[in-house]
Amino acid sequence: MAGKVQLNKGKIRDNALKALVKSNLFRHKVERKRKGKGSYNRQEAKKWRDGFDTVPSFLLPVSRRMSNVEAFAAAA
């Protein structure tokens, strides 16, 4: 078993079991809530905008869509 698990502790000198328990294998993992109280993440709320330089055309009113298409055609 010890051959398959990487302990990230360097060379084990004293107690192999103590080194195994102190390794990342037995570290607690805190799972974040996905729904309900405490699930809101401020950074995640902004991520949808990161990929867009401008607002997508389906979110614009029809009159603004035409000017957006014309600007795109002029740039190309």
Average pLDDT over residues 24-43: 79
12-16 long-range contacts (CB < 8 A, ≥24 apart) are none
* CB 2 within 8 Å of CB 20: yes
Give 37 or 46, the one with higher predicted confidence.
37
Give the span between the Cα atoms of 63 and 50, in whole angstroms.
Answer: 25
pLDDT band at 38 (very low <50, low <70, confident <90, very high): confident
Token pair for residue 61? 């009113």
Give the span between the Cα atoms of 29 and 26, in whole angstroms.
Answer: 9
Residue 2: closest CA among 22, 15, 17, 13: 17
